[in-house]
Amino acid sequence: MKNLVIRLLANAVALAIASWIVAGITLQGATTGRRILTLLIVAAIFGVVNAIVKPVVKLLSLPFIILTLGLLTFVINAAMLLLTSWITGKLDVQFHVDGFWNALLGAFIITVVGVIINVILPDKAEIK
């Protein structure tokens, strides 16, 4: 449970940094508390999308991932970010990704921040 909360917070930080850097990724809220709540909701939805949809998409596109030497993974991550934006739009959560190129840049930033956070906070199995 503790690991799940840490991963949720890590996703929230990565999404916050991406929305801060990329102009086409917007996160809105009237107050700071509302923005934090929105960010946690978006991070939870992004985590569920990455846990359920992403493995299926990666499995189906495995030959193309191998053919592109893994670069297609960034496109898949961008698609997951766009899917998260679409889902949050249906739930009336104020998070929006404006177009594929903004999603691709945001996915790259989220990946880099995720790698840095994983280096700082290793998985539970590695902690002795």
Q: What is the pLDDT of residue 52?
A: 94
44-95 tens-digit pLDDT: 999 999 999 999 999 999 999 999 999 999 999 999 999 999 999 998 888 9
CA distances for 65 relative to 62, 71, 75, 76, 77, angstroms: 5, 7, 10, 10, 12
Domain ranges of the chain: 2-123
13-24 tens-digit pLDDT: 999 999 999 999
Residues 84, 19: Cα–Cα separation, whole Å? 13
Confidence of residue 123 (pLDDT cuts 50, 70, 90): low
Q: Are 39 and 94 in contact (CB under 8 A)?
A: no
